[in-house]
Amino acid sequence: MALSRTFRVLSLPLLALSVTASAADLPVRKSAGEIIKTSQPSDWRPLDPANTLYMELPGGRVVIELAPDFAPLAIANIKTLAKEHYYDGLAVNRSQDNYVAQWGDPNAETTPKSLGSAKAKVPGEFSVPMSNDKRFVRQKDFDGYAPQIGHSNGFPVGRDPKAKTTWLAHCYGMVGVGRDNNTDSGSGAELYAVNGHAPRHLDRNITVVGRVVAGMPLLATLPRGGETMGFYGAKEARTPIISVRLAADVPEAERSHLEVMRSEAPIYQAVIEAQRNRGGPWNKYAANYVELCNATIPVREAPKL
Amino acid sequence: MALSRTFRVLSLPLLALSVTASAADLPVRKSAGEIIKTSQPSDWRPLDPANTLYMELPGGRVVIELAPDFAPLAIANIKTLAKEHYYDGLAVNRSQDNYVAQWGDPNAETTPKSLGSAKAKVPGEFSVPMSNDKRFVRQKDFDGYAPQIGHSNGFPVGRDPKAKTTWLAHCYGMVGVGRDNNTDSGSGAELYAVNGHAPRHLDRNITVVGRVVAGMPLLATLPRGGETMGFYGAKEARTPIISVRLAADVPEAERSHLEVMRSEAPIYQAVIEAQRNRGGPWNKYAANYVELCNATIPVREAPKL
């Protein structure tokens, strides 16, 4: 990277006031994208149709992978709601900039739709026993919100070895269960997805059930609501939910065929390392660190057979 | 919070598999919003018209506060570009989900618009001497990307006391200068704003010039581009830029009258603390931590006189 060296030598005397860039050039290293290209079929797993939701919006499909290790009760209730077509015809009622998009029953406070055979109250699963999670691979980086962080079966995770608990972290695209003050007041009838910088203060305060693995732009680009907390006002257009279905209940020909990189595969650790220490020529400084929510788990279309 | 205690006692025997919520109730504390309501006029400062840009899009105005302490050379060039109406008629050319929206000359590679009297190359100001920054107030929380973090005159900042350098952090809404591999290749003709989780690996790799203090949804909700890195393809609709002006060059009656909380005011430290340790009844767990990019700096409409 001769040019940036030249730059440094030429510029510092003139611009000592303000320029401290380019102390040394970084070695050229494989990027995360280049490493992913070297992956083998065994580094990927298909989504499990029994734990994948399709939310159909007018603009397309949002695919949500559920994480039953972390919220078995909420997820069982959400599956009941989906099977009984509870969400169909409801709407995205909230879009708060740099926080969450939230969907459910716009008339929940006045003429609520029946929950059918689903439960109205589900105990909060804000964290679960570490023993629930057999696939945790620790990420070595420090985190301010959790004693340990890592990934489990394609989800970002915090955990506390002293309390022997584990929980899903509120990274971009993570999906959680709206609730009121009571910890059991979230039934899954109201769900949200993080659409901005990770609100990690919500970790251990609310039940997280999974993450959006495709279609996140459909939620992230929604107009922001004009009322408090980004709720839409009476006169604002809401995005209707055409349907929410479990993938297993959708004919094979209509399914999305996506694969998630196995977070327990060694290649995923290499992907994280490539993000911790990026190489030249574009990068001039390597942080030797990657924050949990920046270490995203790759998703791809399943290769055609 | 008797209810959550009741919940714990009743539920644990039945649900020991999964429920560990609500170890103890949190004291009720003032929220950040409640603290902000107690602020005095002296806790706020108006935006400086000489360091505020208005980018007019068809949907409304994006207000960008510039931080000349951190990027004097780039900002001088951007002011020249704005004064000479360089940006007018250009477009937002890139919208990458959970990364950045970027604007500039869509024909930069073929028939580029003249930069007028602005410079085509500006030395990178990826970090600047700590002595540039007289208003830094340290935030006590650990950060993986910087030895120290804090706020300076309403901007999130990292710094390295050993190297005696300081830099603006890539939080949501921060605005930076697109560049190629060479550190001096960013002139300010291409700018971007962070539209998702903070890409802090860009810190010290690129010149950051300020932040969007109003109108961020206009950029965040743009359709994502269909090409690599979220660039729009030839057939995709780009959002035109009507104009970019320095507020000082806009008639007083057409200006936005915004105030930013003084990050050096004690009340701002109380706002941060309220986010580090949130109180009940909704919150059940307090992190005793707030990540730099979650400690946002309040902005308000100036009260009517």
pLDDT at residue B24 in the model: 65
A114 located within any domain: yes
For range B6-28, the mean pLDDT = 45
pLDDT at residue B25 in the model: 81
Q: Count Cβ atoms below 10 Å from residue B23 Cβ, excluding itself.
A: 14
CB contact under 8 A, A17 and B278: no
> Dmax of chain B from CA atoms?
74
DSSP B131: G
CB contact under 8 A, B126 and A198: no
**Is B11 or B149 the better-scoring residue by pLDDT?**
B149
Task: Give the C-alpha separation, A1 to B211, whole Å.
Answer: 31
Given pLDDT bands bounded at 50, 70 and 90, which one contains residue A24?
low
Q: Count Cβ atoms below 10 Å from residue B227 Cβ, excluding itself.
A: 13
CB contact under 8 A, B19 and A145: no
Strands B52-57 and B60-66: antiparallel
A38 located within any domain: no
- B144 at the A interface (CB within 8 A)? yes
pLDDT tens for residues B171-208? 999 999 999 999 999 999 999 999 999 999 999 999 99
What value of ipTM does the predicted structure carry? 0.92
B196 located within any domain: yes
B105 located within any domain: yes
**Which chain A residue has the Cα nearest residue B21?**
A126
B271 located within any domain: no
- Tell me the DSSP string of chain A: -HHHHHHHHHHHHHHTTT----SSPPPB---HHHHHHT--GGGEEE--GGGEEEEEETTEEEEEEE-TTT-HHHHHHHHHHHHTT-STT-EEEEE-TTSEEEEE-TTTTTSPPP-TTS-S-----SSEEGGG-S-EEEE-S--SS-SEEEEETTEEEEEETTTTEEEE---TTEEEE---SSTT---SSSEEEE-SS--GGGTTTS-EEEEEEE-HHHHHTSPPPSSGGGBPPTTSPPEEP-EEEEGGGS-GGGS--EEEE-TTSHHHHHHHHHHHS--BTT-----S---GGGSPPPEEEPPP-
pLDDT tens for residues A128-173? 999 999 999 999 999 999 999 999 999 999 999 999 999 999 999 9
A172 located within any domain: yes
Name the β-bridge partners of B137: B151
CB contact under 8 A, A287 and B21: no
- Chain B hits for A11, Cβ within 8 Å: 123, 184
Give the closest of A142, A197, A285 to B204, CB-based.
A285
Q: Which of residues 54-93 of A touch B (CB under 8 A)?
A: 71-73
Q: Residue B106 belongs to what domain range?
A: 47-258
Given pLDDT bands bounded at 50, 70 and 90, which one contains residue B13?
very low
Lookup: tokens for B21: 């919520």
For range A72-88, the mean pLDDT = 98
pLDDT tens for residues B88-143? 999 999 999 999 999 999 999 999 999 999 999 999 999 999 999 999 999 999 99
CATH of the domain at A221: 2.40.100.10
- B6 at the A interface (CB within 8 A)? no
DSSP B212: E
A286 located within any domain: no
- B9 at the A interface (CB within 8 A)? no
pLDDT tens for residues A278-303? 998 999 999 999 999 999 999 999 99
B274 located within any domain: no
CB–CB of B285/B267 below 8 Å? no
Domain count, chain B: 1
Q: Which of residues 92-121 of B touch A (CB under 8 A)?
A: 97-98
Per 3-state DSSP, chain B is made up of helix, strand and coil in percentages (nearest 5) of 25, 25, 50
Q: Which residue has 């909704």 as its token pair?
A: B282
- Chain A hits for B165, Cβ within 8 Å: 20
